[in-house]
Amino acid sequence: MSISLAKGVWCSLQGNITRWTRSSSKDAFKKFRGRSFCIAKEEMLLVYEYVQSKSLDTFTFGDSINERINWEQRYKIIQGVARGLLYLHEDSTVRIIHRDLKASNILLDEISDFGVARLLARDHTESKTTRVVGTFGYMAPEYAIQGNVSTKADVFSFGVLVLEIVSGRSNISFYDPTNVENLLSYAWQCWKSSTVTKLIDPSISENCPIHEVLRCIHIGLLCVQEYPVNRPQMSSVF
């Protein structure tokens, strides 16, 4: 079996181990036990099963049009990520908030990088932190600015991811000649001007069920609303 090795600081290593072992899902626990870890002097390693399909960003933002995945594959990935987040938020023994959901952390077929995840008791949905971690461009505003950690912060990141998958464009490196600030601003502009089809990746625009794509765009926009209270829970997304 091929494996990949990743170096990391102790807190990240410990975080990954803790989050997997505290999961109530037998399948998730077995998945963790299929990996190994090593602590030797200053060297700390987590051993993951090699994921041959690479990460989502490779097939969504790749320069070659031939590397990009079709709509059917994109839709299945959106559904899979939604199911994964739903498990973390509502089906685990402890509530897990990922805090760094992004295309490069979607290893086909699993969600990776739990080193910065936050654990909450089942009866809690939010907390506060002075250590904001994650990736700008995916962070919810209340988390990036005030350190408010909640399931709705993950929902915001999911919304960004959905809009990236539909458009084939990264929110982080977004550029538009009309000087729109970022992908989210562009998506809202298209929605409000009833030109939302402009948002769709040209490589899939002619071979996709438009109603399905528009539904995903709508879901993405609902998820990236400014105020957490207006965003849906993952249980109502799909």
For the chain, which residues make up each domain, given as ranges?
Answer: 1-50, 54-236
Asked if 120 and 177 touch (Cβ cutoff 8 Å), the reply is no
Q: Look at residue 153 in the predicted model and tell me its pLDDT.
A: 93
Residue 201 a catalytic site member:
no
pLDDT score, position 146: 86
Look at residues 164, 26, 31, 149 and name the one whose alpha carbon lies nearest to residue 95.
Answer: 149
Q: Give pLDDT, residue 124.
A: 45
- What's the pTM value of the predicted model, to 2 decimals? 0.75
Q: Report the candidate in 61, 66, 111, 64 with the shortest Cα–Cα distance to residue 88.
A: 111
Other beta carbons less than 10 A from residue 215's beta carbon: 13
Tokens 């990743």 identify what position? 6
Q: Are 229 and 144 in contact (CB under 8 A)?
A: no
Fold of 54-236: Transferase(Phosphotransferase); domain 1 (1.10.510)
**pLDDT value at residue 226:** 94
Tell me the C-alpha distance between 160 and 183, whole Å: 8
Amino acid occupying residue 143: Y
pLDDT on residue 69? 86
Candidates 100, 113, 154, 201; catalytic one = 100
pLDDT by residue (tens digit) across 217-231?
A: 999 999 999 999 999
Contacts of residue 42, defined as CB under 8 A and 6 or more positions apart, other chains included, come to none
* Residue given tokens 């490196």 in the structure block: 173
pLDDT score of 130: 45
pLDDT given at position 53: 64
Residue 12 tokens read as 């990240």
Ranges under pLDDT 70 in the chain: 1-37, 41-42, 44, 46-53, 62-67, 109-133, 175-179, 238
The pLDDT score that the predictor gives to residue 87 is 86
Query: How far apart are the two ends of the chain, measured CA to CA in Å?
Result: 34
pLDDT at residue number 191:
95
